[in-house]
Every structure is written in structure tokens, then in C-alpha cells.
Amino acid sequence: MEADAIPAILILTVLLSANLITFTLFGIDKRRARMGLRRLSERMLLLWTLMGGTAGAFLGRHVFRHKTRKQPFSTWLWLIAAAQMAAIATWAMI
């Protein structure tokens, strides 16, 4: 295995983990909402999104039909996604 491949594998592993955790957290929060239990904070959901779980957040919203109309949560989610896309585009140009 090449030395350059190790960081790429590490980055992919971290991103996959962040997305799985974020997706799971959306499911947990939806279940807690239905059961009338204490909810996960929106801050926690957005922080996991920011840490690389954007795809998991959007998939979780769709699958669990959770936080699809909630404001300002939706706006923050889209801003995080836009900032991440801009960072990736900038990094790709370097």
C-alpha cells in the first residue's frame, strides 16, 4: 500500500463513521420524539453534520421524515452543506 493511500483511507473511514453516527442520531431523536422522551439537542445533530456527517443528516431527514421543516435547523443544515462543498471545491483547485 502506498504511503499516500493511508491518509485517504483514514479520511474515508472518518467520514463514513461520521455519516453513520449522524444518520443513527437522527433516527434516535425521531424515536425519542415519538415516545415523548427527552430529545437530542439540535446543536448535537448539527455538530455531527459539521464533523462530516452531512450525507447522513440529509439521508436521516429523508428516511425518518425528521426535522424536514424545522427552522432555523434546516437553514443551518444547508449552510453547513454549502460551506463543506465550497471547502472541497477550494481544496480540489489547489
**Within a 13 Å sphere around the CA of 84, how many CA atoms are in the beta-carbon half?**
17
Each residue's pLDDT, cut to its tens digit, for the chain (94 residues) gives: 566 677 889 989 999 999 999 999 999 999 999 999 999 999 999 999 999 999 999 999 999 999 988 899 999 999 999 999 999 999 888 7
Q: For residue 29, with 0-12 CB atoms within 10 Å meaning exposed, 13-18 middle and 19 or more buried, which class applies?
A: buried
pLDDT number for residue 90? 93
Q: Which three cell numbers stand for residue 60?
A: 436521516
The model carries a pTM of 0.90
Q: Which residues contact 29 (CB under 8 A, 6 or more apart)?
A: 39, 40, 45, 66, 67
Q: In which residue are the cell numbers 446543536 written?
A: 43
